[in-house]
Amino acid sequence: PTLESEGFRAPAYPLGSPYSVVIRFLLVPDAASARMVRREVATLGASMGVVVGTMRELIDLAFESCLIVPPVDDWGDAVLTAAKGIPDAFWAKSIEIAPQETVLHLSRTLAMLLRAAGPDRGIDSPGDGLLPRRASDHLSDFTRLHEAMGGKLPPDLMAISHILKTEVSDWARGISVYQKEGFPMLSPWEQALINKMGISGKETALQDTIERSFTCQLHQEQNNALGFLKKQLFETNGERVSLDDSLLWIGVRDYLEETEIAAGMIQKALLEDTTLSPADIAILLPRDAGYRHSLDEVFQFAGLPLSGLPMDRQIRDLGREALLYFLMSRKRPAPAMVFASLLSSPLMPWPKDQGYQLAQKVMDGDFDLEPLEGFSVESRSMLSLIMTEPADLAKIPGELRLFVSLLPSSPEFEMHATRARETMSMILPLAKRGVEEAWKEMLRVSAPEEISRMENSQLYREGIAVFREHEEPWKRVRQLYVLGFTAGSYPSGTPVSPVFSETDLELMQVKCSLPVKTGRDTAAQWRDLFKRHISSASERVVFFIPRRDPFGKALAPSQTLPFMSSLFEGIEDPQDIIQDIDRADVRNSLEALPLADPSKPAPPRLLEVKDLFLECDLAGISKKDGETRPFSPSSIQTLMESPLAWLIVRMKIE
């Protein structure tokens, strides 16, 4: 930690004075690699003013140093407004049918072009014959779009532009950037920012640290298959070596069996090698979220500690949910379930039990609700607003503002209240139209979305490290277990532009001198990252290939498998390198695979099917006014389909 992380702020001395502070910033591509570099920096001893972070963190630090306020982000609105004002552009019809989706693609493509152009040039219309007609027209349309926006930049480029306009001599503290040459790859904007910050007299120890952290450890002293794979993967020199137990490709049923077998193999490896500890092992995960949950469950059951496992926690979109139910309740007659759902929402300004009490009254047909005991002024106002008969659509904007203002402001629900306010700002322009056709659009905009919050598990030094396919490895290990080695992973699939083809992008690089990133460039980056993952292990790498997805659909191995199989003698077909454990001979020959002791099968218990007799009159439950409640047609249907469901409804314990 530095003094800055403890709340200390350096005084603003003129840069170059003996009292000025120069921050030495070590630039890394992501948070995972920052973890590794910080560990390496700590081995150098105590130091002040050393920061390890990503480009985003560098920009934030620069804003603090030059004492300017970050710009407001209204990029999306600017793109939408300008795009609608160019009726003859190629996106004209699409923006009428699907405005949000169209603006999303336009924003991404325009940002990609501006990022490649750099701070010293704009998006120039291509000369005649440089690009195919379609690509040339599209690029010209983007030039007009950017001009219609007044030259506005996306948030990250706007931030860099503000910093580039300041004088370094006026900064409160200087920043000297350290990075491995060419890594991470920088856009012209990012390179211009670093050039502005660069200060001579860099420390050799810090530069050596960051160079060492991102240099693949090929372990050339190891004359085994793993060492050869690290050096020759994706190369085409035709050299081959014999395969040994430092590399394994194991075929399994699905991702659930995959995590169980990985846990068993790790347990056996730890049992047989007393010098091996969980900290010497790492697991590489694909992007599939299912692996994170199965890994967490299986490894907890196996008693294997995981370090840095990311978990996405699904969260109800309470803000939009409450807003949607409120809108639906303003158009009468509204279903009772709408009022019940709104009254029982956790965002209401009354306790949950009182919300359930009000909701139950509504479901029982009682819409004449009175404030309950202990209701606050906000609670009374909210209940009155919800149950008051709406006047007309013209009153909706005022009612929406009042509704959102009555939502709780506690830290627990701050995120949801913010989402409700943001959604209301999108609905208000529609509501002000005062036409019935806008009603469906308002309901569509306020529809709840899937929200997930990514949380990392605790980082234990003694735990099994968890790497992710799209992030840098953050430590060196002895054994690496690669899960989900299937098509579309290792490396990940390259994104496809909906506007420009791969050929168009390549011609822009060559003919227009515009360094846009092509699919080939992205694929090369993913391959290099995968090689760095493999290079993090010194003794063994095990690849797991699930044969089917959770729905039973057949899966193909990763596209990297043919490159791997071509490096080893005796392998004619890539599938020959995979050892499927559903074969008895494979199971018995794999020494690293733990096998359960044979046991006699136990027959299942005999199930006796007969009617359940509870010795009581079920129809007499929940009498009304002392008499048995009558059966409705839907109640009789439920009784015939599921007596248990009917009983639960009858007892009002849903």
| CB proximity list for 45: less than 8 A, separation 6 or greater | none
- Name residue 335's amino acid: P
CA distance 24 to 206: 9
Q: Which of 155-169, 557-571, 623-637 has the lowest mean pLDDT?
A: 623-637
Instruction: Output the CA torsion sign for 161, 162, 165, 167.
Output: negative
| CB proximity list for 165: less than 8 A, separation 6 or greater | none
**CA neighbor of 57 nearest in space, from 78, 38, 42, 83:** 38
Q: Which of 284-293, 295-304, 605-614 has the lowest mean pLDDT?
A: 605-614
**CA neighbor of 12 nearest in space, from 167, 166, 173:** 173
CA distance 423 to 316: 15
CA distance 98 to 95: 5
Residue 276 has pLDDT above 70, yes or no: yes
CA distances for 265 relative to 262, 269, 302, 479, angstroms: 5, 6, 11, 11
Express each pLDDT in 146-178 by its tens digit: 999 999 999 889 989 989 988 877 788 888 899
CA distance 550 to 548: 7
| CB proximity list for 439: less than 8 A, separation 6 or greater | 331, 393
Beta bridge partners of 371: none
The residue-averaged pLDDT of 80-107 equals 88
Express each pLDDT in 203-230 by its tens digit: 788 888 888 888 765 444 567 899 999 9
Q: What is the percent of the chain where pLDDT is above 90?
A: 35
Burial of 370 (0-12, 13-18, 19+ CB in 10 A): exposed
Residue 416 has pLDDT above 70, yes or no: yes
CA distance 647 to 272: 56
Question: With contact defined as beta carbons under 8 Å apart, do 262 and 294 qualify?
Answer: no
Express each pLDDT in 496-524 by its tens digit: 888 999 999 999 988 888 889 898 899 99
CA distance 389 to 29: 56
The whole-chain average pLDDT of the chain stands at: 85
Question: With contact defined as beta carbons under 8 Å apart, do 377 and 350 qualify?
Answer: no
Question: With contact defined as beta carbons under 8 Å apart, do 367 and 339 qualify?
Answer: yes
CA distance 403 to 399: 6
- What φ, ψ does residue 292 adopt, rounded to 5°? -65, -40
Residue 441 per-residue DSSP state: H
Residue 12 has pLDDT above 60, yes or no: no
Instruction: Give the pLDDT confidence score for residue 144 in this predicted structure.
Output: 93
Q: What is the percent of the chain where pLDDT is above 70?
A: 93
The CA dihedral of 589, 590, 595, 601, to the nearest 10 degrees, is: -50
- The number of angstroms, rounded, from the C-alpha of 242 to the middle of its chain's C-alpha atoms is 40
Burial of 482 (0-12, 13-18, 19+ CB in 10 A): buried
Structure tokens at 347: 């965002």
CA distance 242 to 543: 18
Q: How confident is the model at residue 6 (pLDDT cuts 50, 70, 90)?
A: very low
Instruction: Give the pLDDT confidence score for residue 249 in this predicted structure.
Output: 96
Reduced to 3 states, what is the DSSP secondary structure of residue 136? helix
Q: How confident is the model at residue 467 (pLDDT cuts 50, 70, 90)?
A: very high
- What φ, ψ does residue 251 adopt, rounded to 5°? -90, 130
The residue-averaged pLDDT of 610-614 equals 76
Q: How many CB atoms lie within 10 A of CB 179?
A: 18
Q: How confident is the model at residue 298 (pLDDT cuts 50, 70, 90)?
A: very high
CA distances for 402 relative to 15, 128, 164, 188, angstroms: 51, 57, 43, 47
- The number of angstroms, rounded, from the C-alpha of 459 to the middle of its chain's C-alpha atoms is 19
CA distance 178 to 40: 14
Express each pLDDT in 333-370 by its tens digit: 888 999 999 999 999 999 888 999 999 998 988 888 88
**CA neighbor of 575 nearest in space, from 561, 563, 586:** 561
- What φ, ψ does residue 519 adopt, rounded to 5°? -60, -35
Q: How many CB atoms lie within 10 A of CB 596?
A: 6
Residue 437 has pLDDT above 50, yes or no: yes
Query: Which of 73-82, 193-202, 442-451, 469-478 ranks highest by mean pLDDT?
Result: 469-478
Structure tokens at 235: 């190369």
Residue 412 per-residue DSSP state: G
Reduced to 3 states, what is the DSSP secondary structure of residue 526? helix
Instruction: Give the pLDDT confidence score for residue 274 in this predicted structure.
Output: 92
Reduced to 3 states, what is the DSSP secondary structure of residue 580? strand
Instruction: Give the pLDDT confidence score for residue 286 in this predicted structure.
Output: 93
Structure tokens at 385: 């607003």
Residue 272 has pLDDT above 50, yes or no: yes
Express each pLDDT in 63-79 by its tens digit: 888 877 777 777 878 89
